[in-house]
């Protein structure tokens, strides 16, 4: 004797399947960036194993590109500034973790395990769903999928980059900035974000000739902090009084 699922159960199953498809699609598309990161990291002077460990441990694209970009410009001496720049960009994941805590639920160990996979894409796919099960599936499928794909493509990019030799012969010495800009550009959709981006770019450009690599990025970050604290240039729907 068989029982047909109720309309609510059928709808939940459809949402779960859709979340899984979306998560896998985002994972495949995002993982492709790992090839660029692997090649750029090796071109910046990191060994293949250092590049792979960076992806395994740090695992946040914007921070990783910022790190290798600063290292490429200033070498080992710029490591403190590179770490600071990467950490500054990674702070956003703390906000994601707070938002995702009710979705993840479960024990403290479950939340600790989820921390490594709490990134822009997993958070976005999860919160795009409405059913609780679909949200959970969207998070785990996207996060784990990107983690596996990103690290495999990082290894591939590092191996390819190691074979290419001098990065300047292929223009890879400027590719870190281009790759980071490609990640940033889709987010510049509102007036406040555009003002922050332009102002920070101007500050960084002016300070680059006079400060050591990495420091202009940190100084430019003050622009974003000030705009965020005072909520300048935000439209009224974003909460500006």
* Number of other CB atoms surrounding residue 54 within 10 Å: 21
Residue 2 lies in a domain: no
Answer yes or no: is 181 within a domain: no
Burial of residue 107 (CB within 10 Å: 0-12, 13-18, 19+) is exposed
Is residue 197 a part of any domain in this protein?
Answer: yes
Question: Considering the chain, what is the average pLDDT of its residues?
Answer: 79
* pLDDT at residue 182, as a whole number: 58
Do residue 154 and residue 196 come from a single domain? no
Model pTM greater than 0.75? no
Please indicate, yes or no, if residue 77 is contained in any of the structural domains. yes
Average pLDDT over residues 84-106: 83
Structural domain includes residue 182: no
Write down which residue in 149, 173, 197 finishes a domain.
Answer: 173
**Are 167 and 202 in a shared domain?**
no
Query: Rounded to an integer, what distance in angstroms lies between the CA atom of residue 189 and that of residue 177?
Result: 20
Tell whether 123 and 27 lie within a shared domain: yes
Looking at the fold, whether 102 and 197 belong to one and the same domain comes out as no
The average pLDDT across 179-183 equals 57
Domain check: are 167 and 222 in the same one? no
Quote the number of domains for the chain.
Answer: 2
Domain range holding 196? Answer: 188-241
pLDDT of residue 49 exceeding 90: yes
Query: Please, are residues 121 and 146 in contact by the beta-carbon 8 Å criterion?
Result: yes
Q: Which residues contact 206 (CB under 8 A, 6 or more apart)?
A: none
* pLDDT of res. 228: 67
> CA 52 to CA 54: how far, in whole Å?
5
Torsion of CA 80, 82, 83, 88, to 10 degrees: 120
Confidence of residue 179 (pLDDT cuts 50, 70, 90): low
Length of the chain: 241
Name which of 76, 73, 74 is nearest 46 in CA terms.
76
């Amino acid at each position: 004797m068989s029982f047909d699922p109720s309309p609510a159960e059928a709808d939940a199953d459809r949402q779960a399947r859709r979340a899984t498809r979306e998560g896998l699609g985002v994972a495949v598309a995002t993982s492709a960036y790992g090839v660029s990161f692997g090649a750029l990291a090796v071109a910046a002077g990191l060994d293949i194993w250092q590049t792979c460990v960076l992806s395994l441990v740090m695992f946040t694209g914007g921070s990783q590109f910022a790190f290798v970009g600063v290292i490429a410009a200033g070498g080992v001496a710029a490591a403190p500034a590179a770490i600071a720049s990467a950490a500054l960009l990674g702070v956003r994941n703390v906000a994601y973790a707070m938002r995702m805590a009710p979705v993840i639920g479960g024990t403290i160990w479950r939340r600790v395990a989820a921390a490594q996979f709490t990134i822009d894409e997993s958070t976005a796919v999860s919160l795009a769903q409405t059913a609780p099960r679909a949200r959970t599936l969207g998070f785990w499928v996207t996060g784990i999928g990107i983690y596996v794909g990103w690290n495999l493509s990082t290894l591939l990019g590092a191996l390819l980059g190691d074979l290419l030799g001098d990065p300047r012969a292929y223009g890879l010495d400027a590719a870190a900035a281009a790759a980071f800009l490609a990640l940033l550009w889709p987010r510049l959709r509102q007036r406040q974000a555009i003002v922050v981006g332009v102002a920070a770019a101007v500050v960084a450009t002016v300070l680059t000739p006079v400060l050591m690599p990495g420091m202009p990025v940190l100084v430019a970050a003050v622009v974003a902090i000030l705009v965020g604290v005072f909520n300048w240039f935000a439209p009224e729907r974003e909460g500006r009084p």
